[in-house]
Amino acid sequence: MIPTFVFVHGSGSAAHSWSAVQREMASHGHRTLALDLPGRGAGLSQAYYEQDLEAFAAEPSVMSDLTLDDFIGTVVDAVERVRHHGPVVLVAHSFGGLPVTAAANAIPELIDRIVYVAAQCPVNRAPGEYAALPEWTSAEFFPAIEPLLLGNPLEQGFIRVNWRGADRGRRAALRDAVAAELTEDEFLQVIVTSQPDEVFWPAGPEWDVRADKDSWGRIPRTFVKLTKDHSMPLAIQDLYLAEGDALTPDNPFDVRELESSHAGFFRKPVGLAGILDDLSVRAGAGSR
């Protein structure tokens, strides 16, 4: 049977980020669905558009009230709705690995394969603890984004990024961190469509997502390593792989490599689409 690919975006993003990948997949005859995680559009206010930073910084956000259960529910609902069409391949990028891992813990019988595209896959630690490990020290994203943060996430309960406030130099630093292979004009499109507000997932135990051996651990899984990733360094990608394989040595990751930055593949989707096209044969043959 033909699988459905369900795409889950990363932090500061939305379903539209997968549009070029979906077009490429459609050209191969694949059925896809890209999800908007909860709260997309939060912070896209008149104050943000006009760069009234005092007003924008003072605005509340729905992100402060969202929970992990809200995110899990979005993924679970999508999987349940498309499952009657056949096998489901759940594809996560970056932060999207957290709700995907949690959903896999909840409904392993409905998921035929998980694909982590340089996505968070916590096993031995809470998600926020990985960012403090030595493997993250070479990450360029956090230093690049810090000057654009508005407010204190610990106090406001959400992350707010003033993407529109990035001057030419700051955009260059962000481009190097996120999508170095894009031109300046191509990266501008990333900036203008980035979501200002995000949940503060490193905050506390309510976001303590970890792969469960008896549920997540029985699902076939693939990890796509992005070999030019300056936001999630290869060292942390390898750590996720090592911990996952140690948890379920009889069901190790199928590892693929893609010569891409953390987000460059969204604009240059042929390589990822080729990997997913190959995996579709296994998903259809192994449907349960």
What architecture does CATH give domain 4-285?
Answer: 3-Layer(aba) Sandwich (3.40)
Given this model, what pLDDT does residue 47 score?
97
d(C-alpha 287, C-alpha 86), whole Å: 7
d(C-alpha 230, C-alpha 226), whole Å: 9
Name the nearest CA neighbour of 71 among 101, 111, 42.
101
Alpha carbon distance, N-terminus to C-terminus of the chain: 10
User: For residue range 94-142, what is the model confidence (pLDDT) as tens digits?
Assistant: 999 999 999 999 999 999 999 999 999 999 999 999 988 999 988 999 9
* More reliable by pLDDT, 201 or 203: 201
Given this model, what pLDDT does residue 165 score?
94
Task: List Cβ neighbours of 266 (8 Å cut-off, separation of 6 or more).
Answer: 17, 18, 20, 21, 179
Burial pattern 17-46, b for ≥16 Cβ within 10 A else e, equals: bbebbbebbeeeebbbbbbebbbbebbebe
Cα distances (angstroms) measured from residue 228 to each of 74, 76, 188, 208, 279:
31, 31, 20, 28, 22
Given this model, what pLDDT does residue 281 score?
65
Q: How confident is the model at residue 280 (pLDDT cuts 50, 70, 90)?
A: confident
Given this model, what pLDDT does residue 183 score?
94
Structure tokens, 203 = 């905050």
Mean pLDDT of the 63-73 span: 96
User: For residue range 204-223, what is the model confidence (pLDDT) as tens digits?
Assistant: 788 999 999 999 999 999 99
Q: How confident is the model at residue 43 (pLDDT cuts 50, 70, 90)?
A: very high
Residue 264 has pLDDT above 80, yes or no: yes
User: For residue range 141-181, what is the model confidence (pLDDT) as tens digits?
Assistant: 999 999 999 999 999 999 999 999 999 999 999 999 999 99
Mean pLDDT of the 24-53 span: 96
Residue 59 has pLDDT above 60, yes or no: yes
